[in-house]
Amino acid sequence: MTTTTLSSKGQVVLPRLVRSKLHLAPGTRFLCEIQGDSVILTPEHPRRFVREYVTDPDTGLRVTKVSDDAEPVTTEMVKALLEDYP
């Protein structure tokens, strides 16, 4: 367990380990509840997609793991998405 301090502006810094473990990014909104003598902060919209990295067996590079049910991305799909860019 780690501790943190309430600033004069009422701000609390969540330790890096907590932010990392819960995949919290700047701008994350929280629901704030009081339970007895405790304050409970719950992310308003928990992230649905958590990045997991693996090593590509062909290149040896670190890449984002794709879920088993993800639709394959084709060259045509990429071209269609890039048509709007200069």
26-35 pLDDT per residue, tens: 888 999 999 9
Closest among 5, 1, 45, 2 to 23, alpha carbons compared: 45
User: Would you kindly state where each structural domain of the chain is located, as residue ranges?
Assistant: 53-82
40-67 pLDDT per residue, tens: 999 887 655 567 889 999 999 999 888 7
Provide the whole-model pTM: 0.49
The answer to whether 34 and 25 have CB atoms below 8 angstroms apart is: no
Give the pLDDT band of residue 36 (cuts 50, 70, 90). Answer: very high
